[in-house]
Amino acid sequence: MNNQPVTVITGGAGFLGSHLCDRFIAEGHKVIAIDNFITGNPDNIAHLMGNENFKFIKHDVTEFIYVEGKVDNILHFASPASPIDYLKLPIQTLKVGSLGTHKALGLAKAKGARFLLASTSEVYGDPLEHPQKETYWGNVNPIGLRGVYDEAKRFAESMTMAYHRYHNLDTRILRIFNTYGPRMRLNDGRALPAFVHSALNGTPMTVFGDGSQTRSFCYVSDLVEGIWRLLNSNETEPVNIGNPDEITILDFAKEVQTIVKELTGKDTEIIFKELPSDDPKVRKPDNTKAKERLGWEPTINRAEGLRKTISYFFKQAGII
The residues carrying an active-site annotation are 149
C-alpha 203: how far from its chain's center? 27
Identify the burial level of 177 via C-beta atoms within 10 angstroms of its C-beta, where 0-12 means exposed, 13-18 middle and 19 or more buried.
Answer: buried
Is residue 112 within 8 Å of 45, Cβ to Cβ?
A: no
Closest CA to 248 of 275, 219, 221: 275
Q: What is the rounded distance in angstroms from the CA atom of residue 288 to the CA atom of residue 37?
A: 35
Q: What is the rounded distance in angstroms from the CA atom of residue 240 to the CA atom of residue 223?
A: 10
Sequential DSSP letters for 118-176: EEEGGGGBS-SSSSBPTT---B--TTSTTHHHHHHHHHHHHHHHHHHHHS---EEEEEE
Is residue 156 within 8 Å of 97, Cβ to Cβ?
A: yes
Q: What is the rounded distance in angstroms from the CA atom of residue 33 to the CA atom of residue 197?
A: 28
Beta-bridge partner residues of 206? 271
Closest CA to 253 of 283, 281, 212, 222: 212
